[in-house]
Structure 1
């Protein structure tokens, strides 16, 4: 099989000779010799087609003879993507033109196909609409300055209509979760002194009024000088139990150095604690060995790992921390209604990409602090299927 392709204006196209004999579906042949497929994007990438041309699953599987007959001639053309890595392979049926995903095993393990789109044209349209939503462009440009529950519902319905217009009510999982979860990034607009201005009582409605802890000025240590953070903790508060976050309700809130000196003397030396421990306010913990702290001067939210002795960025500020906890709680409700976690890796990628839309710092592995190794809590915890963070 030829490993060449023609790159026209960034689109990946193939010649009739390169399609023969693998693709007989007329509409697919027309698409690949005409408009073609876009270059790699944030959701789908076709680098494998650009680099290798058309290849059958039977040519790539570890034991082709054990591959189900109907799968052998499926053509690998690309991959679903998250940030800078591939998730599942995108495969094309050359006879019907239907597009699916699968995990490409180099072993005799069985493969399953999950539907992705009825055609290449629909796949390109689905991806473009989802990217427009994220960027508030194209059909979603009118929502650039609109936020709140009503905007979320309208955007979700509009994106779902794009998918349902091509496939009916049986929308493939990847796009169904895109329509349900990605619009949640529009729940809050820009804040004053903080990244987000959360709708009033958003957390109360999600977690229950009795599940939200609000603080008073007397609860704040002198090291907490960042006024927008103080205001948020007074007026909005945080969930006492955010599933993966346990708020410290023993007030007043201590600096990290005070917490260890008073509650766990001798566990860590001064040299082992972060150099800024006197200015890091402990809000609670993510795991029993990971403290959640806020920088009292800047308002940045950080995670202090005791086993690693590393201070890592967690969220841009207290408002995006609250959004993250709300997003995770909302996802569980959506999973209960729509069984999103049946496609767990796709769901984890969608959650990380949605969070990154609101708070890039939370998912950016670029080292930002002394000793920072680039490990980021939220993407890792979303992807931990064994831990079951995203299961309802």
Structure 2
């Protein structure tokens, strides 16, 4: 029988896993001890009493159907700590010299993966990617995309490469970004942090969520839509948004709004606190969606039953679907404040199936 003393080293929760007092698993032929479960699809985390391995398992599964999660209890505890360190480390404003962006997020994730390989070589040397950890690490590293801005600045600070990476996620072939020249920005845009962001980082093109014209001048809503928004003389027509809406940028405050035309049927006016919050939310969403698409369209089938390395329990779609709304909401909680706020409408749309339809 394996040594179970390592159970005490497990936290109550961490790395999208939840642990509890050990109990006997209903499956596993008496070999499995339940340590807890996943935070996303109800799978069990079990300890194999004969091998000492930790696996993901279903309550009704057979003892040969669990996916290897860690080669031992100490390895499991170490892997959990590593993912948690990535998720919480971004709060240190001085880390990476204060820089945040796509390259920083990738560097943090890559370094953490190398450390995890050293912590549990047996897990990472098998043919298929280990279940759970790759997705958990990707989600945790999203916190390194941006950091909270200064009180007199934008909601978030990040390197221009975040917008470039967002453009790549939207259209890998062109990855087009429109960066505005200072002389292109209208006098009505007096919010200096927004002016700098448009010049230094710009806006991605070819997006399904945010539609930006590649060369049209940035003008006021009143000038662009005189019949509908004549009163919006200090709001700029930034781009298009789902459901045939237009994003209005408040030139004084930098706030993003969705002026309505249909009264009670319109969504709430608030879209995002400012342009930095919108771009960080979109980048977060598109990174998650790219991982989703990898399994949806990339020829990866973890349930095909061919070979010893296929997953029989872990479902990345369930993981991503469970987490995506909370990730986007965390960027700008007010954007989900009521059922009438647009981001929440998109996330809870019963016709499209949500953000990861």
Same fold judged by TM-score > 0.5?
Answer: yes
- 2: CA distance, partners of 1:316 / 1:338: 39
- 2: CA distance, partners of 1:91 / 1:54: 11
TM-score (norm 1): 0.61
Cα deviation per residue 1:296-331 (whole Å; 9 max; x = unaligned)?
Answer: 332233556868523265444212423344445555
Q: Is the contact made by 1:294 and 1:302 (CA closer than 8 Å) also made in structure 2?
A: yes
Cα deviation per residue 1:241-296 (whole Å; 9 max; x = unaligned)?
Answer: 223322256544443x776653x69xxxx9xxxxx966654423332245434333
Q: Is the contact made by 2:99 and 2:159 (CA closer than 8 Å) also made in structure 1?
A: no
Report the equivalent of 1:37.
10
- 2: CA distance, partners of 1:278 / 1:93: 64
Which deviates the most, 309-318 or 155-164?
Answer: 309-318
Change (3 A) 1:147 1:233: closer
Which deviates the most, 338-347 or 316-325?
Answer: 338-347
Where does the alignment leave 5 or more consecutive residues of structure 2 unmatched?
303-314
Report the equivalent of 2:196.
231
- 1: CA distance, partners of 2:217 / 2:29: 61
Q: Is the contact made by 1:224 and 1:297 (CA closer than 8 Å) also made in structure 2?
A: yes
- 2: CA distance, partners of 1:152 / 1:385: 33
Which structure has the higher relative contact order (CA within 8 Å, separation 6+)? 2
Q: Aligned pair 1:26/2:7, yes or no?
A: no
TM-score (norm 2): 0.66
CA apart distance, 1:386: 6.5
From 257, 267, 271, the equivalent of 1:310 is 267
From 350, 362, 367, the equivalent of 2:332 is 362
- 2: CA distance, partners of 1:310 / 1:153: 35
From 243, 249, 261, the equivalent of 1:288 is 243
- 2: CA distance, partners of 1:296 / 1:314: 15
Report the equivalent of 1:19.
none
Report the equivalent of 1:169.
125
- 1: CA distance, partners of 2:191 / 2:94: 34
Q: How many residues align?
A: 322
Q: Aligned pair 1:92/2:46, yes or no?
A: yes
- 2: CA distance, partners of 1:313 / 1:169: 48
Give the alignment's Cα RMSD to 1 decimal. Answer: 4.9
Secondary structure of 2:132's partner?
Answer: helix
Where does the alignment leave 5 or more consecutive residues of structure 1 unmatched?
1-24, 59-68, 271-275
CA apart distance, 1:131: 1.5
From 125, 128, 137, the equivalent of 1:179 is 137
CA apart distance, 1:142: 5.5
Cα deviation per residue 1:38-58 (whole Å; 9 max; x = unaligned)?
Answer: 224473223xx35xx6263x4
